[in-house]
Amino acid sequence: MTPGEDAVKSPTDFSDSVDVQRERRQLAETWREPTGLVGWFSCVHHTTIGRRFIITAFVFFLLGGIEAVLMRLQLARPENRLLGPDLYNQIFTMHGSTMMFLFAVPMMLGLGIYLVPLMVGARNIAFPRLIAFGYYLYLFGGIFLYFMFLLNSGPDNGWFSYVPLAGPQYAPGKRADVWAQLITFTEVSSLVVAVGLIVTVFKLRRPGMSINRIPLFVWAELVISFMIIFAMPTVALASTCLILDRLIGTHFFNPAEGGDVLLWQHLFWFFGHPEVYIIFIPATGIISAILPTFCRRKIFGYTLLVLSLVATGFIGFGLWVHHMFATGLPKVAQSFFTAASMMIALPTGAQIFCWLATLWRGKLVVKTPLLFVLGFFFNFLIGGLTGVMLASVTLNQQVHDTFFVVAHFHYVLIGGSVFPLFGGLYYWFPKITGRMLSERTGRWVFGLMMIGFNLTFFPMHQLGLKGMPRRVYTYLPGLGWEGLNLLATVGGSIMAVSVLLFIVNAFQSLRAGEAANDNPWGAGSLEWATAAPPPVYNFARLSVVAGHDPLWDEFEKQPVVTGVRSDLREVLVTTVLDAAPDHKYLMPDPSMWPFLTAVATTGLFVGSIFTPWAVVIGAVPVTITMIGWFWPKRREQEEQAAAEHGHHSGAGKDEGPVGGERPIWEGQA
Amino acid sequence: MKREDLTIDVSDLPVYAFGARSLMWWGTLGMIVIEGTMFALLIGAYFYLRGRVPDWPPNGLPPQLRWGIVNTVVLLASVLPNIWYQRAAERKDLATVRLGLVISIVFAVAFVVIRFCEFRVLNCHWTTNAYGSVVWTLLGLHTVHLITDLADTIVLTALMFIGPVDGKHFVDVSENAFYWYFVVIVWLPIFAVLYLAPRWI
C-alpha cells in the first residue's frame, strides 16, 4: 500500500530497533486505506484525498488550457471562422470558470490538504470525511459543467456572469443556471475544506510548534481558509439569488420591480477580489517554502512575512469596487477604492523585499523550483505594475474591457500563481511520489513557459491600448491588431508545449525516474522528516518542534511524544497558541458515506436547475445519507470505547494542558 | 543524556474535551461563521435594495408583528433547555441530556409551526417585487437553519436513547446546543430587520 514505509529509513526518523519496527507495522495496519472499488470511494487519509485534488485540478487545468489554445487559434488572424460567436462565448466562459473554480482554488486547497498536516506534524487532517465529501462534490461539479458543455448548454456569459445578460430576460435556456450551480458545487467544497484546514492548523500541530513557528506555507493556507470562509458565502448567495430570479421569479436583479443589477456586481466582486488573493497567497507560501531550501539559509523576516500575509488577507476585502469603476459610482467611493487598491501593494512589496533579502544573503542552488520562483519575480512585477496603473480610475476607464485588462490579470494569475505552483510541483513531486522529476527537462519546461507566457500576454497590453476589446470572437483586418494577435497565438502554442513537456516529464519519472530520498533538497520543514511517499500514518516518531524550520533546529535532540496509541487512529490535540499537548482524539475510520452524501447532494443541486421541488425531494436522500454518515458503526463504537476506557479516561473540565509551568519541550537540548 | 530520557508521555491525557479545546467546537464555529456571513450579506442586500426605491415596503404594509413576536419569545425561551442539557452533557448525565433534548425538540417543532404562520402574514410575495424577494429569502434561509438543526437534534436524541453512548457523543450534544444558540442569536437581527426596520427606520 505504501511503498517505502519500512524500507526507507529517514535521516530524522532514525530509530530502527525491533520495537520501533513493530510499532510502524502496527501503525500501518491501523491507518491502512481500504482497497478495491468500494475502498476507493471510502478513503479518508489526507494524502490520498490531497493527491486526488491535485490530479483532478491539473486535469481541469489542461481542459482550460485547451480552451485557451482554441481562443488563441480563433484570434490568430482577422475574420477567422474556426469558432462561431456562440461557441466562442461558451469557450471563454468555460475557460474562465474552469481556471478559477476548477483549477486554481482546488489546486491550492489540494496542496494544502496534502501538505498542511505533514508540515504541522499530524497523522491526518481534521474532519477527513468532510474533506473527502468536499472532493467528490468538486469532482461532480466539474463533471456536471463539462457534461452540460458537451450538450451545448455550457455557460456563455463570462466567468462573472453579469446580470441582466445572465438574467431570465436575456439568457433563456439553462446555460446561466449551469454556471450558477457550478458555483454552488465548488463553493461548498472549498468551504468545508477551509474549515478542515483551519482546525488542523489550530488544533493538530506538533507540540512545540507554537504560533511563531508555523511554516509560512501553512500560514498562507490558513489565511486563505479564513478568506474563503468570508468570501465564498457571498458568491454562493449571489448565485442562489440568480437561480431564484430565473427559476421562481424573484426580482433581486430586476430593476423594473425594485431590484438592481449592480447588486450582482457588488456581491460578485466582494467574493471575486478576495478570490484573486485566495489564489495568490498560497503561491507566496510556496515561494517562502522553496526559497530557504535553495538559498541554504533561513527565510529573512519571518514575522514580517506572516504579518504581510495576514494584512493582505484583510485588505483583499476592501478592493472589490475597483472592478466596478466603469459603473458610475460616486467619486468618493472611487477615491477610497483607488487608495485601498494601492495600499495592498505595501504588504506585497514587503514580502518581495524579504524574499530578495533571502536571495541576497543565500548560497543559491539553482534547480528548477528556484528557476520558477525567479521567473515569478519578473512576471509578477509586471502584473503588479499594471495593477497599480489599473487602480487609478482614469486609466482604468480608458482600458476598461480591453485586452490590457486581460494581459494584467494573466500576469498576476499565471505569473503570480502558476509559476510558483510549477515550482512547487517540482519541489514536492519527490515527496508525493518518491521519484525525482528530471532536472534537465525541468529547465526546458521553465524556459519554454517563460518565453511562451511573455510572448502570449505582453503583446496584449499593446492590443488593449490600441483598443481591442476582450471577449470578441473576431476582428476586422486593417485595425493594426493582426501582428500582435498572431504573436500571442505563437506564444500560446509555446506555452502549450511547455505544459505537455511537463506531463511527459511527470509520466517518465513515475515510470523510471530517479528514486528520491526522504529529503532530496535538504529542506527544513516537517514533511521532509518522513518517507517519500509518506506512509499512511505520516510519522511514527512524534518529535517536538523547536523552530520554524524544525529539521534545521536540532531536530534529533528534541524530546519525543509517547503515549499516542498506535492500535487506534488516535491523534494528539494541542492548544491553539502554544501547541501544548491538551487531549487525544480518535480520527474517523474510512467510510463510503461521504461519497454517497455527495451523490445525493449532486442530485439535489442538478435537479434544482429544473424545478424548485428538487430541493424538497432531494433533501430526503441527503438527510438519509447524512444520518448514515453520522450514525456510529459497531466498529467505531468499539474503538471509541477502547480509547475512552482503555486508559485513564474522562474529560474533567479542570484538567488543563499537561506540562506544568515550564513545558519540557522548551529550551531542551 | 540519552534520547530515551527525553520523552513527553501523553498516555494519561483525556481522549475527548469540551468547548474550545475540542475539534468539534472549532468545526461548528467555522460553520457558524460561514452561515453568519451569509445572513449578514443578505441583510446588506436588504438595505441596498431599500435604497433603490422610494417606498419601503413598496405597498406600505410591513409584515404583521403578532407571530413574529410569539416566535421570538419561543425561540429565546428555547435557550433554557439547551443550556440545561449542555451542562448535563459536560457532566455526562445521560438522563438529563435525554430529557433536555426532547424538550428542545418540542420547542423547535413549535417554532417551525409558528414559522409557517409567520410566512402567511408577511404582507408580500416573492414574485411581486424585490422587497418581497429579499424578505422571503431572509426568512426562508433562517427557516432552513431551523429545520436542519431540528433534524440534527432528532438524530442525536435517537442516538442518546438507542446507542451505547460514549464520552465523545456528549461532546456532540454540547456542540448541538452551541449551534442552536447561533440560530437563536442570528434571529434577533433578522427579526429587527424584517419587522422593526420598515416601521421605525
Contact list, B137 vs chain A (CB under 8 Å): 241, 244, 250
Q: Which of B8, B20, B130 sits opposite A254 (nearest CB)?
A: B130
Chain B residues near residue A259 by CB distance under 8 angstroms: 49, 52, 129-130, 133
For residues A550-570, one letter each, b for 16 or more C-beta atoms within 10 angstroms of the residue's C-beta and e for the rest, the string is bbbbebeebbbbebbbbebbb
Q: Do B155 and A631 touch (CB under 8 A)?
A: yes
Query: B6 to chain A: which residues are within 8 Å by CB?
Result: 557-560, 664, 668
Among A373, A383, A381, smallest CA distance to A420 is for: A373
Which residues of chain A are within 8 Å of residue B34 when distances are taken between CB atoms? 191, 195, 229, 232-233
Which residue of chain A has the CA closest to B159?
A631
pLDDT at A635 (0 to 100):
83
Position A344 scores a pLDDT of 86
For the domain made up of B21-200, give the CATH fold: Four Helix Bundle (Hemerythrin (Met), subunit A) (1.20.120)
| Structure-block grid coordinates of residue A417 | 500563481
Residues of B in contact with A583 (CB under 8 A): 13-17, 21-22
Residue A577's Cβ-count burial label (10 Å; 0-12, 13-18, 19+) is exposed
To the nearest 10 degrees (0 to 180), the angle between helices A128-150 and A593-607 is 40
pLDDT at A16: 61
Q: Report whether B13 contacts A582 (CB < 8 A).
A: yes
DSSP secondary structure of A142-163: HHHHHHHHHTT----STTTT-T
* Nearest CA among B6, B47, B53 for reference residue B134: B47
What are B27's three cell numbers? 468545526
pLDDT in tens, A54-63: 999 999 999 9
Nearest to A651 among B7, B18, B131 (CB): B18
Mutate to test the interface with A, among B28, B34, B153 (most CBs of A within 10 A): B34
Nearest CB to B49; choose among A232, A249, A259? A259
Q: Using an 8 Å Cβ cutoff, are A144 and A182 in contact?
A: yes
Best to test chain B binding among A263, A542, A545, A616 (most B CBs inside 10 Å): A263
Quote the pLDDT of residue A646: 67
Contact B126, A258 (CB under 8 A): no
Asked if residue A497 has pLDDT above 50, the reply is yes
pLDDT at position A594 is 97
C-beta atoms of B17 and A582 within 8 A: yes
Q: Which residues of B touch A255 (CB under 8 A)?
A: 52
Residue A659: the pLDDT is: 37
Lowest mean pLDDT among A8-12, A44-48, B149-153: A8-12
Do the Cβ atoms of A16 and A540 come closer than 8 Å?
no
Specify the pLDDT at position A306. 97
The domain spans of chain B are 21-200
Model confidence at A568: pLDDT above 70: yes
pLDDT digits (tens, 9 = 90+) for A395-437: 999 999 999 999 999 999 999 999 999 999 999 999 999 999 9
The pLDDT value recorded for residue A35 is 92
- Would you call B10 and A562 a contact, using CB atoms and an 8 Å cutoff? yes
**Interface residue of A15, A19, A252, A604 to substitute, partner B, most B CBs within 10 Å:** A252
And the C-alpha cell for B30?
467555522
Mean pLDDT (chain B) is 92
Chain A residues whose beta carbon lies within 8 Å of the beta carbon of residue B42:
237
User: What integer is the mean pLDDT of A292-320?
Assistant: 94
Return the pLDDT at A199: 97
pLDDT band at residue B5 using 50, 70 and 90 as cut-offs: low
Residue A650 has pLDDT above 70, yes or no: no
Task: Tell me: pLDDT of A622 over 60.
Answer: yes
3-class secondary-structure state, position A171: coil
Predicted pLDDT of residue A645: 76
Per the model's pLDDT, the better-predicted residue between A16 and A95 turns out to be A95
- Tell me the average pLDDT across A298-320: 94
Confidence (pLDDT) at A335: 85
Is B17's CB within 8 Å of A637's CB? no
Beta carbons of B6 and A648 less than 8 Å apart: no
* Segment A547-568 mean pLDDT: 90
Across the interface, whether the CB atoms of B7 and A195 are under 8 A apart is answered: no
Q: With contact defined as beta carbons under 8 Å apart, do A183 and A101 qualify?
A: yes
A641 to chain B: closest CA residue:
B166
* Cα–Cα distance measured from residue A613 to residue B162, given in angstroms and rounded to the nearest whole number: 33
**In this predicted model, what pLDDT tens digit does every residue of A387-398 receive, in sequence order?**
888 888 889 999
Exposed e or buried b for every residue in A392-404, given b needs 16+ CB within 10 A? bbeebeebbebbb
pLDDT score of A652 more than 70: no
Helices first, then strands: H and E counts in chain B:
7, 1
Evaluate if residue A2 carries a pLDDT over 90.
no
* Cell representation of residue A347: 504588504
Q: Taking residues B18-46, report their average pLDDT.
A: 95
Q: Give the C-alpha distances (Å, rounded to integers) separating A323 from A96, A160, A259, A338, A578.
A: 16, 11, 21, 11, 41
Cell, residue A248: 421562481
**Cα angle B179-B181-B185, degrees, rounded to a multiple of 5:** 120
Average of per-residue pLDDT values in chain A: 91
Partner-chain residue, chosen from B10, B18, B129, that has the shortest CB–CB distance to A258: B129
Look at residue A557 and tell me whether its pLDDT is greater than 60.
Answer: yes
Q: Is A515 helix (H, G, I), strand (E, B) or coil?
A: strand
Mean pLDDT value of segment A223-252:
96
Q: How far apart are CA B57 and CA B37, in angstroms?
A: 25
Chain B hits for A257, Cβ within 8 Å: 128-130
Contact B10 A581 (CB under 8 A): yes
SS3 A553: coil
Contact A584 B10 (CB under 8 A): yes
Give the DSSP H or E segment for A581: strand A581-586
The percentage of chain A sitting over the pLDDT mark of 70, rounded to a whole number, equals 94
Cβ pair B82, B101 in contact under 8 A: no
Q: Is the pLDDT of residue B88 over 70?
A: yes
Q: Which residues of A touch B129 (CB under 8 A)?
A: 251, 257-259
pLDDT of residue A4: 37
Residues of chain B with C-beta less than 8 angstroms from the C-beta of A204? 23
Query: Sign of the C-alpha dihedral, residues A203, A204, A210, A215?
Result: negative
Site from B23, B32, B92 to mutate, A interface, most A CB atoms within 10 angstroms: B23
Closest-approach residue (CA) in chain B for A560: B7
pLDDT per position as a tens digit, B49-85: 999 898 889 988 999 999 999 999 999 999 999 999 9
Nearest residue in A to B129, CA atom? A257
Q: Which candidate, A516, A327, A339, A331, places its Cα nearest to that of A437?
A: A516
Side-by-side strand order, sheet with A560-562: A542-543, A560-562, B7-9
Question: Within its chain, how far is the Cα of B192 from the centroid?
Answer: 17
Length of chain B: 201
In single-letter form, the type of residue at position A271 comes to: F
Residue A12 scores a pLDDT above 50: no
Chain B residues with CB under 8 Å of A597 CB are none
CB A525 within 8 Å of CB A549: yes
How far is the C-alpha of A441 from the C-alpha of A444, rounded, in Å?
5
CB atoms within 10 A of CB A639: 22
- Specify the pTM: 0.93
A127–B23 CB contact, under 8 Å: yes
Tell me if A207 and B8 make a contact (CB, 8 A cut-off).
Answer: yes
Among A507, A504, A410, A453, which residue's Cα sits nearest to residue A104? A410
Question: ipTM for the complex?
Answer: 0.94
A552-555 long-range contacts (CB < 8 A, ≥24 apart) are A552/A298, A552/A524, A553/A524, A554/A669, A555/A12, A555/A529
Instruction: Show Cβ contacts of residue A7 under 8 Å, excluding neighbours closer than 6 positions.
Output: none
Q: Is the per-residue pLDDT at A79 higher than 90?
A: yes
Nearest CA-CA partner of A277 in A425, A391, A416, A111: A416
